Amino acid sequence: MSWRAPVNPRTLLTWLGLLFGAAGLVLQFTISMQSMLGSGRDVFGSLGAFFSYYTILTNIVLVLIYLSEVLPAAGLALFRHPIVRGMMAANIALVALYVFFVLRFLSALTGLFQVADSILHYLCPVLYLLWWLIGPHGRLRWGNLPLMLAPTLVYFLYAMARGAWVQEYPYPILNAIELGYAQVALNALYMTAGLAVLTLIVIALDRLLARPSRTFQ
């Protein structure tokens, strides 16, 4: 009688994360584009609005990280780097926490919009955080913090520049038209502080989880 080897948990999470991440993005893209085009937006305006959301961009990066795990392509090397993977653990945690504690109270989603929202804001973050936690550790340093925060700063500058151009902002806390730039800057400072705390937690976990493997080497 032969027994099959148990499924590697990390491999399972890789494929689950890849499949749900890709499915959630495709679903969100399809229904969002249909809605925006149906409301009178042109194609380029709809694409610009869709790709202005932090949730969309972070989930795209997660899919690329999973792809880098299953494909040896040199073009995906960046997404194998421990700093990128650790950074995304903090970023996707921020996405889930912000949606759970703030955004979900601002609108009531139904149907496929609710399905896509649940996949991208809750399921994908949980899958990725589990995937990262059981992965290899020990490569992050406290000095990596500024580099791990930099992409979100770039996103903020992009969102504000685009908002000033098209008079539309992806999130209420960035809406300079209603809040003014001073309040938006303060909101950004709060969010940066929150992301910095999450990133420091990720670095601390990476160092802590690496200790057992060092002990037995």
Q: What does the pLDDT look like over 164-176, one tens digit per residue?
A: 999 999 999 999 9
Q: What does the pLDDT look like over 127-171, one tens digit per residue?
A: 999 999 999 999 999 999 999 999 999 999 999 999 999 999 999
- DSSP letter string over 120-186? IIIIHHHHHHHHHHTS------GGGHHHHHHHHHHHHHHHHHHHHHHS--SSGGG-HHHH-HHHHHH
Is 1 a member of any domain?
no
Which range is least confidently modeled, 55-69, 101-115, 174-188, 189-203? 101-115
The count of structural domains within the chain is 1
Which region holds residue 83: left if phi is over 0, alpha if psi is between -120 and 50, else beta? Answer: alpha
Residue 141 CB contacts under 8 Å (≥ 6 apart), including other chains: 203
Nearest CA to 215 among 115, 149, 138? 138
Is 3 a member of any domain?
no
Is 94 a member of any domain?
yes
Write down the pTM of the prediction. 0.93
Amino acid, single-letter form, for residue 149:
L
Is 175 a member of any domain?
yes
Segments forming the whole domain that contains residue 53: 9-211
Is 2 a member of any domain?
no
Is 192 a member of any domain?
yes
Alpha-carbon distances, residue 76 vs 2, 83, 116, 208 (angstroms): 38, 14, 26, 27
Is 4 a member of any domain?
no
The mean pLDDT of 50-63, rounded to a whole number, is 98
- pLDDT at residue 216, as a whole number: 35
- pLDDT at residue 217, as a whole number: 38
Is 36 a member of any domain?
yes
On the question of pLDDT at 113 being above 60, the answer is yes
Q: Is residue 5 very low, low, confident or very high in pLDDT (cuts 50, 70, 90)?
A: low
Q: What is the mean pLDDT of the chain?
A: 93
